[in-house]
Chains A and B, each alone.
Chain A
Amino acid sequence: MTLLPSVPTPRKLGLVIDLDVCVGCHACVISCKEWNTGGYGAALSDQDPYGADVSGTFLNRIHTFEVVPEGGQVIGEAGEARIVHFPKSCLHCEDAPCVTVCPTGASYKRAEDGIVLVDESKCIGCGLCAWSCAYGAREMDLAAGVMKKCTLCVDRIYNETLKEVDRVPSCVRTCPANARHFGDLADPGSEVSRMVAERGGFDLMPEQGTRPTNKYLPPRARKPLAASAGAAVLAENTDGAKGFFAWLDGMLDRI
């Protein structure tokens, strides 16, 4: 059924990703691939895995961007630019175009929690849903010929055979920097909703009209490089040294 739920879903399960904290280690990429290649649906295949032209299906990828403020210089020249590591997986949009374009009913959004899933037994592998997604959240598995996407680890989060601490998506559980958070964004009192409110969490490409569930937290403001310049200069400068260090400075000058 490729109609979107007619009323807002009572729960909006999703991720909050903290761009201030992500260190770009790609651990979530690997743990996602590992969990999901043996979990929901067909395995995540690789093509030419040991050759020069290796590629494969991933549901979560880390891009790295350089942001140059007005008047700043690119990072290669040690200026004001900053590097932001940017994890990206399905945003489980409220107005998900990937759902409504599906001709077979394979692509659907769950009415109870808003998770967008693919029923692989119905997917014909036409690729139209991947075209409709502005975020690149869907990748065709070339071995299985069906569309793969983030399931929000639907086979973990409700899985009572796992310990409670493990009932979160694999990427969230594995992140060593705690940059990824999982929760119900429909509940204003949830930890993720509070983070979004406090830190000014935002949507990606709001102009696409997809109303993503996942939110991103902006990098915190950083003091300009010039404000930290004193520390670097101090290493060459002994002005203002006192006591033992002033004596040592003087002695060493005389030798």
Chain B
Amino acid sequence: MHPAPSIILFTTLSGLGYGLAAVLGLGLLDASGLSVKVAHLAALAMIAGGLLSSTLHLGNPQRAWRALSQWWSSWLSREGVMAILTFVPLTISAWFAVVEGGYQPVAGLVGAAMCGITVYCTAMIYASLRSIQAWNTGFTPLCYLLFAGAGGFLLASVAGYASGAGGTVCAVIAALFVVAAWLAKHQWWTRLRALAPLSTPESATGLGNIGRVRLFERPHINDNYLTREMGFKVARKHALKLSRLAILAGGAMPIVLLIVAIVAGGGAVAVIAAMLAVLLYALGLAVERWLFFAEARHAVMNYYGG
């Protein structure tokens, strides 16, 4: 599958944003701290930025509001509806934190749950597609949820250390989430690499009972929409190497930095270590998301010799 930058940016940014908003909603941090107020606004900005970038790949973005209508059958529609509804508790929470300097538990907890549901809907858009076998597994939403949680606790630990309270709690939970997320992703990759294709050129053409089927001539010489959108192959060559780099940047290095922050217990060292952990984690996540698309093989490529 073609890794469109707008979709990679959307899933990475909104995942981090929803993670942070959910963690803030749990009330682990002191809402009177300046960095916690900034974190509330940053979470909203990341979510909104992610949603806006996701509309960039639409052919007719002026009709995007129609995507809210088919929530009873379409995961994409459910995601859109949940994204907008989730803004309500998140905005109330942010209002209480920024203006009142306090924590509103009802809005916070409801918002946290709705963040989780929204991320689940995003993941199910991909996981529900039978035509893309790599994504068609329960591990896909599990990875999305754990990655959002890890990103949320990482960002919250920066805010906690900067405000002087709650940083270590968030850092410890962040480390656990980072480990869990990459373990789940490792399982996802193991499954992908052991996968026997559901559909083959033989089943796609129905000619398997005559013999082995090979594409002889494409319908046309140049690329078309389908081969551009679904025939992406560049990254597969380096997939294994890239996945190791993603684990190193997004998993191993943030863990080391979190341990530094936890040992330091606070102050500038802890803040800087947590910030570096966030940056490296985001980098690793972007590589992971890129591979998520680039490694996924679409059944239609059975008709295009790919």
Contact = CB atoms under 8 A, between A and B. Distances in A.
A71 to B, nearest CB: 9
Given A57-B225, A68-B211, A82-B210, A133 B131 contact: yes
B198 interface: yes
A101 B108 CA distance: 31
B297 to A, nearest CB: 11
Give the residue among B199, B207, B212, B224 with the most A Cβ atoms within 10 A: B207
B149 interface: no
Nearest to B301: A136
B300 interface: yes
Interface string A67-92: 11110101100000111101010000
Describe B's contact surface by its main secondary structure: mixed
Contacts of A139: 224-226
Given A124-B63, A124-B64, A66 B214 contact: yes
A206 B206 CA distance: 9
Contacts of B209: 218
A27 B224 CA distance: 19
Contacts of B187: none
A126 B219 contact: no
Contacts of B61: 124
Contacts of B211: 67-70, 72, 81
Nearest to A69: B211
Nearest to A127: B229
Interface stretch (A140-148, A152-160, A161-169, A187-195): A140-148
Contact of A97 (B58, B131, B210): B131
Interface stretch (A170-178, A197-205, A224-232, A237-245): A197-205
A100 B73 contact: yes
Nearest to A57: B225
Contact of B67 (A57, A126, A140): A126
B222 interface: yes
B129 interface: yes
B298 interface: yes
Interface residue tally on A, bucketed by range: 35 or more
Given A64-B217, A134-B130, A124 B207 contact: no
Contact of B198 (A122, A208, A219): A208
Contacts of A88: 303
B204 A205 contact: yes
A56 B304 CA distance: 16
Interface residue tally on B, bucketed by range: 35 or more
B210 to A, nearest CB: 5
Contacts of A3: 72-73
A67 B207 contact: yes
Contacts of B77: 103-104
A131 interface: yes
B76 interface: yes
A236 interface: no
Nearest to B223: A55
Interface in B68-106: 68-70, 72-77, 80
B218 interface: yes
A61 B225 CA distance: 13
B195 to A, nearest CB: 14
B203 A207 contact: yes
Contact of A104 (B63, B201, B300): B63
Contacts of A219: 207, 210
Cβ-closest 3 pairs across A and B: A125-B59, A145-B59, A61-B219
Interface of B: 1, 57-61, 63-64, 66-70, 72-77, 80, 125, 128-132, 198-199, 201, 203-207, 209-220, 222-226, 229-230, 298-300, 302-304
